[in-house]
Structure 1
């Protein structure tokens, strides 16, 4: 951390941890209302309910086939559901394993469920797939395939964001939708006191950002609560709202940067952050160049690109920046690959996963022992089968070998079934449907692979930074090849 001169944060699901049971249910209900009221879906959808525990991150949505997939780091599909019907191993392999070329599992035919915002819409898509299969005549006539179902869900979600359905509800009652974290302010103060610059880059616009950040800093602004003010801005050097990540991180982006009037919310033109005079004496009276010797209060902007941010913070190299976010693609991948920023991924699910890993130590050790036993039996069985097939033996000796083979086959089948059941039981301990977040069988999951590749650090809560010195050196564990173990 000694080489880091600026630390930045995303807001939604990074600084602000939303309550899945209320916030995602709010988004789900709003999306259904838009489907019914704006896109001519049947009113019976309004009776549907959202199970916020069912979906997890790291899945892939197959728009063409109406499936949700979990795959390992090699992109082999290990769990697949069509709607809420689990596909058998044979069906799964027929769909995703018997091709001459490997699927990319990317847009436009697939959607990645890599952000917690996507869970409600993915769950709704699964419900609609089952509904279309069962009652094709009740779906709008224009919906002729599963891809159109997904497009309609996305259109409904966008309508919710545009008309303020979700954000207004959060602003009216933030405590219902956002978890309190008393360590947010101490963490930001600690980082500022360490001499580092701090910044906020969020896709949310100023009005919503102001509401959420006030709540995180202890000022809810609702009746009977502490009124909102601008104190939270003192914890940052630069705030950029409406950033349109991940395109914000593209070095060639030509997006204009506007300064936000934090009182009126109006936007003012800037030249890479430098205020521009307005014609006719309206607004700013003259162009004011920043004085590097004068410490300025936090400035708030909308739009722009990473080049503007680097200039505002006087960043000379990407490796001087640490950025903390929750979205692999929106926050982490681009900033790491394109800019060389240091990155920290917030994975709230880790808190539960770590507890379960501790609880299942003996179970997982037993599974490993069963696998070793299975491998030993298989090796012995395969050697004997080869010996019987290609070597000459006396009748008595051959009969004896055949008996050994028969016995080993019985043992092999028994240990395989025992191993499968133990794996299945352990899988259900983490999540009944999708299993462990970072694993798919014995392989790291696709999500874990992305975390390994693009996140320098990952943690369950951003405020875990409070427990370490701002100058701490974070060191990776040693990498091992299989022959070294």
Structure 2
């Protein structure tokens, strides 16, 4: 608190993004677990110098709640006190009013005080487990998750496009070779059972030709594996050398964190000031939701069996958020 400039990285656009929302008729609340003295010091440092017309950070927020005790704030009903002096003296109260500063309380009190509920509220938080998921599960509030690491991950993904394209090409090659190998293996299996050995890849081969072809394909797959393995291991190192990407597990799958974000966050971004790039009246719509069979149905008229077999289609899920 004595030297906030050593620990806080102010975002000049953050107060302006909130000011746009406020002037558009939205009610802006600050709900923090920090006490009043710490909150006041940090907000003065981060907000006041960027606000116009001698506004202070308190002028930006309709209601300020400190010592909120999240996540209990969303689940339980705690007493609420109004902070009435700069020294932090408080008195009990049961309903918040515009312009007030309060300590404790609950999310239910917020809904009652503003006479709004559920999807009329957008809760913006930076922790998927302690606030975003809780406000969604217990109150059905709309939710926005702030994840600063997204900026670095997005940059890393752009830098790794060439490497990932080469890796995907090798994996697709291995799938085609593997499919041929499996067809020969099936033909050999059928012959051992004295059944017709006809498959797409094995038409008139005798047993020796089948065996030799399978051995050659195995060698090709082993050589592809020798190229793929180190590339898979290196994938994501541009973001984090030890853990790889934040939002991905392996090449195709989403990480557990990403699945939690998709489940509980209606929208997510790297910082609140990103909303400044849109009007405060923006209606965010979800992306088209794709299913596993969509990729084949969209492309089967243009691809042969081998190509269609190796197609992959992944799309990050979005959701809807309104005013």
Q: TM-score range by the shorter chain?
A: 0.7 to 0.9
Alignment of 1:434-445 (within 5 A): 434-441=243-250, 442-445=252-255
Correspondence for 1:334 among 134, 158, 162: 134
Unaligned runs of 5+ in 1: 1-170, 221-228, 274-289, 291-295
Correspondence for 1:312 among 113, 117, 129: 113
| CA distance, structure 1, for counterparts of residue 48 and residue 110 of structure 2 | 28
Shift of 1:261: 2.3
1:174-198 residue CA offsets vs partner (Å, 9 max, x unmatched): 1110102111221222111101110
Does 1:260 pair with 2:116? Answer: no
| CA distance, structure 2, for counterparts of residue 355 and residue 233 of structure 1 | 35
| CA distance, structure 2, for counterparts of residue 374 and residue 452 of structure 1 | 32
| CA distance, structure 2, for counterparts of residue 172 and residue 249 of structure 1 | 32
Partner of 1:473: 283
| CA distance, structure 2, for counterparts of residue 263 and residue 425 of structure 1 | 54
Does 1:415 pair with 2:224? Answer: yes
Correspondence for 2:213 among 390, 404, 408: 404
| CA distance, structure 2, for counterparts of residue 230 and residue 211 of structure 1 | 16
1:378-428 residue CA offsets vs partner (Å, 9 max, x unmatched): 1211221222233158xx821111110111111111112212221122222
Shift of 1:254: 2.5
Alignment of 1:28-107 (within 5 A): none
Taking structure 1 as reference, are residues 306 and 184 closer, same or farther at Cα in structure 2, changes over 3 Å only?
Answer: same
Contact preservation (8 Å) 1:203, 1:244: yes
TM-score normalised by length of structure 2: 0.82
Correspondence for 2:92 among 249, 266, 269: 269
Partner of 2:292: 482
| CA distance, structure 1, for counterparts of residue 148 and residue 113 of structure 2 | 31
Does 1:424 pair with 2:225? Answer: no
Shift of 1:210: 0.6
Partner of 1:363: 163
| CA distance, structure 1, for counterparts of residue 210 and residue 101 of structure 2 | 80
Does 1:322 pair with 2:122? Answer: yes
Partner of 1:233: 58
Contact preservation (8 Å) 2:48, 2:55: no
Shift of 1:218: 4.0
Alignment of 1:377-392 (within 5 A): 377-391=177-191, 392=194
Taking structure 1 as reference, are residues 230 and 330 closer, same or farther at Cα in structure 2, changes over 3 Å only?
Answer: farther
Contact preservation (8 Å) 2:146, 2:269: yes
| CA distance, structure 2, for counterparts of residue 311 and residue 262 of structure 1 | 25
| CA distance, structure 1, for counterparts of residue 288 and residue 189 of structure 2 | 45
Name the SS for the 2:103 alignment partner: strand
Partner of 1:76: none
Name the SS for the 2:39 alignment partner: helix
Partner of 2:303: none
| CA distance, structure 1, for counterparts of residue 110 and residue 48 of structure 2 | 28
Does 1:200 pair with 2:23? Answer: no
Name the SS for the 2:282 alignment partner: coil
Does 1:458 pair with 2:268? Answer: yes
Does 1:177 pair with 2:2? Answer: no
Name the SS for the 2:143 alignment partner: strand
Name the SS for the 1:217 alignment partner: helix
| CA distance, structure 1, for counterparts of residue 14 and residue 277 of structure 2 | 12
Unaligned runs of 5+ in 2: 198-204, 296-323
| CA distance, structure 2, for counterparts of residue 417 and residue 272 of structure 1 | 67
Contact preservation (8 Å) 1:199, 1:238: yes
1:353-375 residue CA offsets vs partner (Å, 9 max, x unmatched): 11111111121122221111111
1:251-295 residue CA offsets vs partner (Å, 9 max, x unmatched): xx221111112412122111244xxxxxxxxxxxxxxxx7xxxxx
Shift of 1:430: 2.0
| CA distance, structure 2, for counterparts of residue 218 and residue 304 of structure 1 | 26
Name the SS for the 1:302 alignment partner: strand
Shift of 1:320: 0.6
Correspondence for 2:100 among 299, 303, 312: 299
